[in-house]
Structure 1
């Protein structure tokens, strides 16, 4: 992992705060959908850079300058997110397409033009680009629909591209570290969201307790992911016979839902802190408990995709979160967040006991940012986003 990649991530962190703010302003299903539509291109832009740096030795000056410039594209996108559905729509799309075009230009130095144009994260923007521009030039529902179609094409592009070109193997250590860092960034934004809300008013005992409970929830979810997930992801990619397919499932697609679930959790926690002794309104409860369920059920899917075994502990925890959501509208929010923490802790203990029975233990090496795998980085026709 290079310093340029870490610097590039700074703009993505800012974008995460903007998504939280956008979702905070509209908790409805329509608001969640509109936020997700904007989240897809930002996530895809981050994923394209991650794949490129995984496949290439980016020590060259042109690559390093290109990654830093892509960070500027990400910053401009982040600045326009709050009003993307209003007067900043065209600027949002211009920044996004400029970044994708720059990434495609960097890739064309290594990949034949025909393949790069229509296959992979470097070229699919030539299909979605016109839809995005058309949406930016319209207003209201038409913009939402056009951008939703473009987002759907982006989501389907890795699967479509897999049928159009032979795909090579990625470097498991670097790739999993990058997606692990993504999760750290999103969790970090959750902590920032809670802190930003807490400092706006007097720090009463109940509010301090709410902050500690929110931090505990983020912490136990973090422990679950890094203690029992990321190391499993890496080992699976190292031995997979069809690594590209597995990589799309457990990293590209799953982490889209991991990330968005954490964003909704952050918004729900932010709404809980100001009035921890009051029940949550239905929409806030949906964000908080639904986000936890999305995270844990995605965690269960990844386990099934790797091992072809049902992760009953993770499914049980995710289902419990969903069942607790209606209760959160009747019981003080602080008590419900503590209950969420308890559910995840029980799941972690069960995971730990199961792992020890199998003779394993959490791979703490995955908490470190280590060197890349020593594999060849020759020309590739990758198609992940």
Structure 2
């Protein structure tokens, strides 16, 4: 009876594949949190090359904390029924913790370190403990137990880093490495082993939609940056052109993502013998695509504010580097869905890299325009390739193995 009550928490074949309103509500926090990531980058853009690189590294660390929280929550709602009360408590509690992370993130490595670390530790430890208690005697109860144990193991590093300003960065890098190593290895524990997420039974349609939504959240953050930056300036023709080009680039990123691999992720997961393996790979790829979009948003703000200033190398890291990172990750995503990479994307990436020395000597507006042109050519090549051809089905080379290796916890 106890096992049956715990099993009622699990998704079934009749569970809805679409994301619930609760999950969309949860995502609203990340619209705000991602704007804090961009703002932190903007605040550190005017230093020396070394200072900018250090600030980018620190911000990346804080972003990866947010990503860890969002990713694990997404996998939770893909494995368990989001309409169950305990899962709703878990999601809403994680939402509040994520809001605290977003509020404290701009100064998380300074005076707000303790609330940032406490919010993360409480989410990472409390979430799996609640689920483990709700699962009771079900075999899958061991999975959240593993997650909680690894979160408890890294918690002292997070708290110590918050309390000790000197070694804070090193301690938090070590703590995040422990958390990501646990995810990579399947949170192994003595006597009960590991549970790699690549072996999990997941709701493919649901997981695909959640990855699409986090990408759209990143695009939404870009739109917010474009609008807030331009509305805060005195209207001028120069800024208006930069405003328009920034929007065009955002629209092109949307087009390139969804055509057509972005539409076929659910199909690829449904056809995969081990969907968890493909989902794990797609999660890593979406991490870099989201980073590319966020970096591009920083570039928008810089160019709208200073359209005809000469593009500094630190600016080009975002103006050109963001879209280049997106194209590189999108090429990997194409391989995950189709088992190939189209030449236009690789050519677009190469052109952006080769243009960097030239763009360092021209106004920032011209650099932004060059990026828009390259992305437009990539999007045009996509459309031309598909002209008068039937839609290409997914043919993912990842996750073709059968589910025979998955144990009862999957």
Name the TM-score, length of structure 1 as normaliser: 0.88
2:195 corresponding residue in structure 1: 165
Q: Deviations over 1:259-316 (max 9, x none)?
A: 1121111111100101212222110111221111111001111222343323322222
Instruction: Report how far residue 241 of structure 1 moved.
Output: 2.0
Per-residue deviation, 1:76: 0.8
Cα distance in structure 2, aligned partners of 1:380 and 1:47: 23
Bigger relative contact order, structure 1 or 2, given CA contacts below 8 A and separation 6+? 1
Partner of 1:126: 152
Is 2:143–2:409's contact at 8 Å kept on the other side of the alignment? yes
- Is 1:82 the counterpart of 2:106? The answer is yes
Per the alignment, residue 171 of structure 2 pairs with 146
3-state SS of 2:186 partner: helix
Tell me if the contact between 1:207 and 1:274 (Cα under 8 Å) persists in the aligned partners. yes
* Distance in 2, Cα, partners of 1:274 & 1:159: 41
Look up the SS of the partner of 1:325 in the other structure.
helix
Q: Would you say the 8 A contact 1:286–1:325 is kept in 2?
A: no
Q: Which residue of 1 aligns with 2:191?
A: none
Equivalent in the alignment of 2:28: 10
Count of residue pairs brought into register by the alignment: 363
Q: 1:322 to 1:285 in 2, by over 3 A?
A: same
The Cα of 1:67 is off from its aligned counterpart by 1.6
Q: Measured at CA, do residues 380 and 95 of structure 1 come closer, stay the same or move farther in structure 2, by a change above 3 Å?
A: farther
Structure 1 distance, partners of 2:389, 2:178, is 42
- Equivalent of 1:272 in 295, 303, 307: 303
Tell me if structure 2 keeps the 8 A contact 1:93–1:133: yes
Mapping for residues 183-262 of structure 1, pairs under 5 Å: 183-250=215-282, 252-262=283-293
Deviation digits for residues 80-126 of structure 1 (CA, Å, limit 9, x no counterpart): 1011111111110101111122321232123655442325xx55322
User: Structure 1 residues 171, 123: closer, same or farther in 2, change over 3 A?
Assistant: farther
Contact 1:231 1:362 in 2 (8 A): no
The equivalent of 1:369 in structure 2 is none
Report if aligned partners of 1:11, 1:74 keep a CA contact under 8 Å in 2: yes
Q: 1:326 aligns with which of 339, 357, 381?
A: 357
Q: Which structure would you say has the larger Rg?
A: 2
Corresponding residue for 1:73? Answer: 97
CA RMSD of aligned residues (A): 2.2
- 2:162 is matched with 136
The CA distance in 2 between the partners of 1:380 and 1:181, in whole Å, is 30
Where structure 2 has 5 or more consecutive residues not aligned to the other structure, the ranges are 1-18, 46-51, 189-193, 395-406
Confirm or deny: 8 A CA contact 2:86 2:131 kept in the other structure.
Answer: no
Give the Å deviation of 1:380: 7.4
